Amino acid sequence: MLTDGERGMIVMDSAELIRMSSETAEILRPSVSGAGGFAGPHESSEDSLGTVAIEFRQLSPEELKQIGADGVCSMLPDTDVKEGDVVIHQGSRYIVTDIKRENCFGAVTHLTIRLEREYKLCVA
């Protein structure tokens, strides 16, 4: 059976694979205001949560169509990202539609994130 050190090694190796892609993306979180008000809650702005390491999976359009996403990427397990957040990658906006915590022998190695492209003016 695996020791805690070996589980830690699995997490470190997976993180290294993601960092080796040398890609980063900015995460924006829509801030909701107006809850309880007459007009109801609405997204007034977006707060930047910073830049994080990301690894975009190279998939063909057919594969993406089969998955039902515009992009799939990996992020480090401790990345603060939620469904509905916006990922800015190479000037393109993506909405996070699904987050899966990949688990290996009890260790969360990374997050697999499905993205939907958002065609909105992106200010770099």
Q: What 3-state class would DSSP assign to 6? A: helix
24 belongs to the binding site for another protein (CB under 8 A): no
Q: Where are the alpha helices (DSSP H) in the chain?
A: 4-20, 61-67
Tokens of 20: 């080796």
**Closest distance to another protein from the beta carbon of 1 (Å):** 11
Cβ 24 to another protein shortest distance, Å: 19
* Residues in 38-77 at the binding interface with another protein, rule: CB under 8 A: 57, 74
CA angle 115, 47, 102 (to 5 degrees): 35
- Of 27-35, 63-71, 85-93, 102-110, the segment contacting another protein by CB under 8 A is 102-110
Based on the shown chain and the rule CB under 8 A, indicate whether residue 19 belongs to the binding site for another protein.
Answer: no
